[in-house]
């Protein structure tokens, strides 16, 4: 039987949502157009290097949406729809000090967990639900979402049968788009750009209000990591993605964030981006190889063609020697998730530190909440094992991060 698979449902839904969003937010179409031009120019300028974190086709198609729902039951129903699209909850983003927030929410990110599936149809949805029992009124970003029984029934079928027949797929996508339109649940739909600083410059040239500072890591001379995000007025934003960090990398990032705060207190004339760039230059390896050897960021490792190796000797022991001798190469793993807070870049909270963490979300969604770090670590481990088999050597140990701060 001819079936529309989840990745095609996901791609079609993302396009439908994008059309809806463009109608509601006129500036979105202009942003997407400028983003595409920046990406094309970066590709011409940097060649293959520009695609080290994803091919241009993927980057151009990539969208990151965000929705807010009012109740746990609504989040569970939304999760069923995303499951039909091959998207699973990844990570739990804690509300922190709920008393200090006007409408505190717990969040997760729905996305494919298989790297190939995500690359095939790159779409994510950051979904948040209001903290249960909080008596404060819902904000505009957390509206009631109504998902009709027919839509949920088709979603259950799509998940169970790994797709839908064409006519049912059209009906499902139409109902899903209508449900989001009726609830006005989408609060942003963000394209991905290869050079976010250049995008800011070009948007400012067009007289468009640009955010005072780009959220996330600074621009610096080393590799891009995590996620940088900028905005151009309400509901209009873009993001640039870098390399995923290991737990040791997150700890280093937290320490650098604290050092940035101290530097700003000493020299308030600096912008946060300027201060952070100074700290990063002192505290973080300036190359991908340095990040890989120090276990600060995630990479996959691949055996090279013998013609590319530096001598006729056998492979050395250890990851550092294999990299230095050209026996294997490292490819960065893209950070596929969200920064835990919208206005800062701190490491993910310990899910055991609060009752409203991954376990609570898993109960609400009635499906497991995936740990993003486990997925990145598994990709690295699988690649090291495959490289060892290709070279005919013993398993390659993962790198060990040096103590920080250094003695």
Same domain, yes or no, for 21 and 158?
A: yes
- CA distances to 36, 72, 78 from 127, rounded to whole Å, are 26, 11, 9
Tokens for 259?
């050092």
56 and 178 share one domain: yes
Regarding whether 131 and 196 lie in a shared domain, the answer is: yes
| 119 domain residue, yes or no | yes
In the structure encoding, which two tokens stand for residue 314, read together?
């056998």
Structural domain containing residue 278: 249-331+382-391
Q: Are residues 300 and 153 in the same domain?
A: no
Give the tens place of pLDDT for each residue, 367-384. 999 999 999 999 999 999
* The predicted structure's pLDDT at residue 186: 54
Return d(Cα 128, Cα 125) in angstroms, integer: 10
Highest average pLDDT, of 70-74, 172-176, 309-313, comes from 172-176
In the chain, the number of structural domains is: 2
Burial class (CB in 10 A: 0-12, 13-18, 19+), 278: middle
What pLDDT does residue 306 have? 74
Considering the domain boundaries, does residue 401 fall inside one? no
Dihedral sign (CA 115, 118, 119, 123) = negative
Whether 230 and 315 share a structural domain: no
336 within a domain of the structure (yes/no) = no
Quick check: is 138 in a domain?
Answer: yes
Collapsing DSSP states into helix, strand and coil, what is residue 46?
helix
d(CA 210, CA 109): 26
Whether residues 126 and 223 share a domain: the answer is yes
Q: If we measure between CA atoms, which residue out of 233, 245, 283 comes closest to residue 263?
A: 283
Per DSSP bridges, beta strands 123-130 and 63-69 are parallel
pLDDT tens digits for 40-52?
999 999 988 888 8
At 87-141, the pLDDT tens digits run: 999 999 876 544 444 557 889 999 999 999 999 999 999 998 887 765 444 444 5
User: What local confidence, expressed as pLDDT, does residue 307 receive?
Assistant: 65
pLDDT digits (tens, 9 = 90+) for 188-226: 789 999 999 999 999 999 999 999 889 999 999 999 999
> Does the pLDDT value for residue 321 go beyond 80?
yes
- Residue 200 placed within a domain: yes
Cα pseudo-dihedral 7, 13, 17, 20, rounded to 10:
150
Distance CA 407, CA 399 (A): 20
- Mention every residue, 6+ apart, whose C-beta is less than 8 A from residue 407: none
- CB pairs under 8 A, 24+ apart, for 274-282? 274/218, 276/217, 276/218, 276/220, 277/218, 277/219, 277/220, 280/217, 280/218, 280/220, 280/222, 280/256, 281/220, 281/221, 281/222
CA angle 64, 69, 74 (to 5 degrees): 115
Using an 8 Å Cβ cutoff, are 16 and 91 in contact? no
258 & 356 share domain: no
Query: Which residues, other chains included, contact 389 with Cβ-Cβ below 8 Å and sequence gap of 6+?
Result: none
Q: Is residue 341 part of a domain?
A: no
**What is the distance between the alpha carbons of residues 224 and 244, in angstroms, rounded to a whole number?**
9
Cα-Cα end-to-end distance for the chain: 65
């Amino acid at each position: 039987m001819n079936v529309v698979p989840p990745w095609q449902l996901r791609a079609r839904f993302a396009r439908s949502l994008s059309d809806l969003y463009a109608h509601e937010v006129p500036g979105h179409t202009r942003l997407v157009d400028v983003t595409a031009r920046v990406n094309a120019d970066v590709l011409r300028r940097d060649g293959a290097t520009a695609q080290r974190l994803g091919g241009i086709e993927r980057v151009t198609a990539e969208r990151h949406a965000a929705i807010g729902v009012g109740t746990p039951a609504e989040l569970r129903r939304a999760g069923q729809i995303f499951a039909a699209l091959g998207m699973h909850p990844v990570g739990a983003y804690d509300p922190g000090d709920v008393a200090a927030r006007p409408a505190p929410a717990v969040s997760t990110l729905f996305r494919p967990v298989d790297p190939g599936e995500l690359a095939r149809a790159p779409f994510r949805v950051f979904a948040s639900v209001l903290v249960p029992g909080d008596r404060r009124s819902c904000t505009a970003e957390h509206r009631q979402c109504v998902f009709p029984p027919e839509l949920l029934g088709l979603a259950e079928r799509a998940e169970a049968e790994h797709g839908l027949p064409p006519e049912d797929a059209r009906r499902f996508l139409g109902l899903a788009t209508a449900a989001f339109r009726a609830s006005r649940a989408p609060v942003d739909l963000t394209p991905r750009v290869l050079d976010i600083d250049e995008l800011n410059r070009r948007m400012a040239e067009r007289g468009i209000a640009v955010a005072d500072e780009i959220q996330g890591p600074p621009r610096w001379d080393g590799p891009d990591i995590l996620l940088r995000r900028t905005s151009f007025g309400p509901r209009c934003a873009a993001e640039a993605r870098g390399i995923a960090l290991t737990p040791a990398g997150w700890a280093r990032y937290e320490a650098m964030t604290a050092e940035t705060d101290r530097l700003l207190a000493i020299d308030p004339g600096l912008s946060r981006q300027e201060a952070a760039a100074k700290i990063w230059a002192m505290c973080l390896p300036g190359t991908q190889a340095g990040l890989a050897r120090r276990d600060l960021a995630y990479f996959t490792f691949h055996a090279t063609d013998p013609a590319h190796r530096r001598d006729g000797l056998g492979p050395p022991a250890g990851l550092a020697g294999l990299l230095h001798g050209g026996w294997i190469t490292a490819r960065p793993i893209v950070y596929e998730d969200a920064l835990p807070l919208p206005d800062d870049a701190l490491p993910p909270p310990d899910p055991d530190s609060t009752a409203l963490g991954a376990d609570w979300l898993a109960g609400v969604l009635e499906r497991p909440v995936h740990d993003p770090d486990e997925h990145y670590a598994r990709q690295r481990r699988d690649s090291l094992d495959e490289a060892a088999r290709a070279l005919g050597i013993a398993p390659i140990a993962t790198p060990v991060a040096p103590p920080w701060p250094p003695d």
